[in-house]
Amino acid sequence: MRITGNTLTRRGFGAILAAGLLATGLTACANSDTGDNAGGTAGDDKIVLGFSQVGAESGWRTANTTSVKEAATEAGIELKFDDAQQKQENQIRAIRNFIQQKVDVIAFSPVVESGWDTVLKEAKDAQIPVILTDRAVDSADKTLYKTFLGSDFVKEGRLSAEWLIEETKSATGPVNIVELQGTTGSAPANDRKKGFAEAIAANPNLKIIASQSGDFTRAGGKAVMEQFLKANPKIDVLFAHNDDMGLGALEAITAAGKVPGKDIKIITIDAVKDGMQALADGKFNFIAECSPLLGPQLMDLAKKVHAGEEVPARIETEETTFTQQTAKEALPTRKY
Ligand code: GYE
């Protein structure tokens, strides 16, 4: 919300409102431009957060959306939520709308890494702080956003590879790997691919024989796995950039008469409930966790940047990995 000195004087409530602002830690003074925000009336100090979500492509995404919505309510932040349906143009439009509505803070999870400079510059010119959640952008100008909150995707790829290296250490012949990549151009797809490839590079037995995008969806994972199976008679391992694509691939593998988890070892990333169930059931072999529960930290950051406080440039989520055994133990108390 924004209140100028003029507004206060004009309304004749200067002293009262000023006292109110002091009591709320002066957060309302952090903005320098004028005019009421879209959400509140003058005197209402609720922070308005515009959030542009990627879409609803996976179990991870659904859990992430729930986390953001619940945390906003909990924190007393007014959330303007927009679902971009996996399209960058929709996200750019949503961000421009937020700017026009003069929200206090903008947060978004960029569907792809490139192509954000112009719209981020517009937000900066409007003096609206931007927080990147979950996925990064490749903008050279780091002043276009305040902070990034999310996971180390390169590490997730590397941990996946390290499990495989250990698992296949006694293999004598080549181990054929197929890879289901996430959304083309997205940070998690780029980084998970990189982390995995770098880690297996020193091991000549481990070969990626096919790699294609399944767009992080079950349908995509199934369709691409069907093609992989048709084109490659010997597939030993599937590395899927998320659980959902792995779950879709399960159907293709079973339909091809192979046993998932045995004939073809499956490694995925996320550790959402359905993925963890598949792991506990012996259909998956390993999952590197990626937490979608970013809501509470995001709200905390929104309050801080709104108040003009310094925040770290990058905040990483703590994560673990799961085997079939540890998945069985973790499942009963799993939150997402
Ligand atoms: O792994 C995938 C989702 O950006 C970390 O996006 C996120 C990824 C997640 O669709 O399931």
Instruction: Name residues contacting ligand 1 (CB within 6 A).
Output: 57-58, 60-61, 134-135, 188, 216, 242, 244, 269-270, 290
Average pLDDT over residues 284-304: 98
Q: What is the pLDDT of residue 335?
A: 87
Determine, yes or no, domain membership for 278: yes
For residues 147 and 157, membership in a common domain is answered with no
C-alpha closest to that of 225 among 202, 270, 255: 255
Q: Which residues pair with 181 in a beta bridge?
A: 213
Q: What is the DSSP string of 270-333?
A: E--HHHHHHHHTTS--EEEE-----HHHHHHHHHHHHTT----SEEEPP--EEEHHHHHHHGGG
Predicted TM-score (pTM) of the model is: 0.87
pLDDT 10s digits, 162-190: 999 999 999 999 999 999 999 999 999 99
- Give the domain-ending residue among 290, 309, 329: 290
Q: What is the pLDDT of residue 45?
A: 83
pLDDT 10s digits, 187-246: 999 999 999 999 999 999 999 999 999 999 999 999 999 999 999 999 999 999 999 999
Determine, yes or no, domain membership for 100: yes
Give the CATH number of the domain where residue 259 resides. 3.40.50.2300
Query: How far is Cα 252 from Cα 260, in angstroms, rounded to an integer?
Result: 10
Considering only CA atoms, which residue is closest to atom 8 of ligand 1? Answer: 188
**322 CA distance to ligand 1 middle (Å):** 17
Average pLDDT over residues 7-20: 34
Determine, yes or no, domain membership for 99: yes
β-pairing verdict for 147-150 and 175-181? unpaired
pLDDT 10s digits, 136-164: 999 999 999 999 999 999 999 999 999 99
The pick from 53, 54, 58, 113 for probing ligand 1's pocket by mutation, whose C-beta has the most ligand atoms within 8 angstroms, reads 58
**148 CA distance to ligand 1 middle (Å):** 15
Determine, yes or no, domain membership for 335: no
Q: What is the pLDDT of residue 16?
A: 36
Average pLDDT over residues 90-119: 98
| Number of domains into which the chain is organized | 2
Determine, yes or no, domain membership for 22: no
For residues 195 and 121, membership in a common domain is answered with no
Determine, yes or no, domain membership for 34: no
**56 CA distance to ligand 1 middle (Å):** 10
**285 CA distance to ligand 1 middle (Å):** 19
Residue 181 and residue 213 in contact, taking contact as beta carbons nearer than 8 Å: yes
Can you read off the two tokens belonging to residue 119? 């719209």
For residues 252 and 299, membership in a common domain is answered with no
Domain extent, residue 86, equals 44-151+292-319
For residues 111 and 166, membership in a common domain is answered with no
For residues 286 and 312, membership in a common domain is answered with no
SS3 assignment, position 194 = helix
CB atoms within 10 A of CB 218: 22
